[in-house]
Structure 1
Amino acid sequence: MPFQSKYDPERITNLSSDLLGLLSKEKVPVDLALMVLGNVLSNVVNDNVPAGQRAALVKQFAKTLEQSVVAGHH
């Protein structure tokens, strides 16, 4: 069964495009882009997810990311 997001796909696409556009405009190399995005993810999780739920959320996120990258989805 495909994943159904509670968010509008157009909004997701627009936000993703904005972030990717900024990284491209700044000519950010891959390793720096990953560090910056990792810092953003860490801040989002630490600032918005209760401590007791962080490990499970991050584990599921990492699993989903791995599946997306291995499958070649964007």
Structure 2
Amino acid sequence: MPQQSKYSDAQFEALMNDIVFALEKNQANRDLSLMALGNVITNIFLHQVNADQREKMADKFTQVLLKSINGKQK
């Protein structure tokens, strides 16, 4: 069953386009892109997620990422 988002497709696409544009503008290769995105994710966890929920949310994020790159949809 696909998961419903509280964000519109247009809102999501606009943000994704901005992120991809910034990476391309800076000619970030794969490693630099992953480092930068990883640091952004860490910053979000540290500043926007309660300390008592971070590990659980990071674990869930990791599971979803692995399913996404393996092409498995739940």
* Partner in structure 1 of residue 19 of structure 2: 19
- Map 1:31-42 to 2 at 5 A: 31-42=31-42
Structure 1 gap ranges (5+): none
What is the CA–CA distance in structure 2 between the aligned matches of 1:47 and 1:70, rounded to whole Å? 29
Return 5+ residue gaps in structure 2 as ranges.
none
Q: What residue identity is the alignment partner of 2:59?
A: K
TM-score w.r.t. the length of structure 1 is 0.92
Q: 1:58 is aligned with what amino acid?
A: A
SS of the residue aligned with 2:65?
helix
Higher relative contact order (CA 8 A, sep 6+): 2
* Sequence identity percentage: 36
Q: What is the CA deviation profile of residues 2-54 of structure 1, one whole-angstrom value per residue up to 9, with x for unaligned ones? A: 01111111101110011001101211010110000000000011001111100
**Alignment length, in residue pairs?**
72
SS of the aligned residue for 2:3 comes to coil
What is the TM-score with the length of structure 2 in the denominator? 0.92
- Supply the distance in 1 between the matched residues of 2:40 and 2:56 (Cα, whole angstroms): 18
